[in-house]
Amino acid sequence: MGYKLLRRERLKRPGHKTLYTESEQETERLGERLARGLKKGSVVALSGELGAGKTTLVRGMARGLAIEGYVKSPSFTIVHIYSGGRLPLYHIDLYRIAPEELNTFELEEYVWSEGVCVIEWAEKIRHILPEDTIYINITHEGENRRKIEMEGFER
């Protein structure tokens, strides 16, 4: 299961877009830009290996939503809530969570919320994600180069 399956499913959907960034700042700016297209109830599922740049992209999205005081989340906290911006932002990081610890019932509240829900390691809760989830996969291509594949933005 996991990423391969997720990717195969994703490739069947239209609106696939791939771009590359050459620095952390560029990825952050991309996140900022993407935030403009986010609306109430948007869900963004992020995948990509450790250090790929998922949190960097979320930091940009937070800025794009005019959220002040975004801090890189300590990895032991699963849900971070940021209010005060254009929309509330729920940043969920499932890296450390074991499948048997997953409380999907609790997570569904954020997924079906009035805010924007961005999930790192989202493949772990693929089965509870809405049909119109935006999928973003980041691949490490070089020291500062990242491939960013997106799907579900153009609708």
Residue type, 45: A
54 touching Mg ion, by CB under 5 A: yes
**Cα–Cα distance, 112 to 95 (Å, whole number):** 21
Q: Which is nearer to Mg ion, 47 or 55 (CB)?
A: 55
Place of tokens 């297209």: 37
- Is-contact 78 93, C-beta < 8 A? yes
53 touching ligand ATP, by CB under 6 A: yes
**Pairing between strand 134-140 and 146-151?**
antiparallel
17-46 positions binding ligand ATP, by CB under 6 A: 21-24, 26-27
Nearest approach in angstroms of CB 155 to ligand ATP is 25
55 touching Mg ion, by CB under 5 A: yes
Work out what residue 146 binds among Mg ion, ligand ATP, none; the CB cut-off runs from 5 to 8 Å by kind: ligand ATP
| Cα 100–chain centre separation | 22
Q: Which residues bind ligand ATP (CB under 6 A)?
A: 21-24, 26-27, 48, 50-56, 95, 120, 144, 146
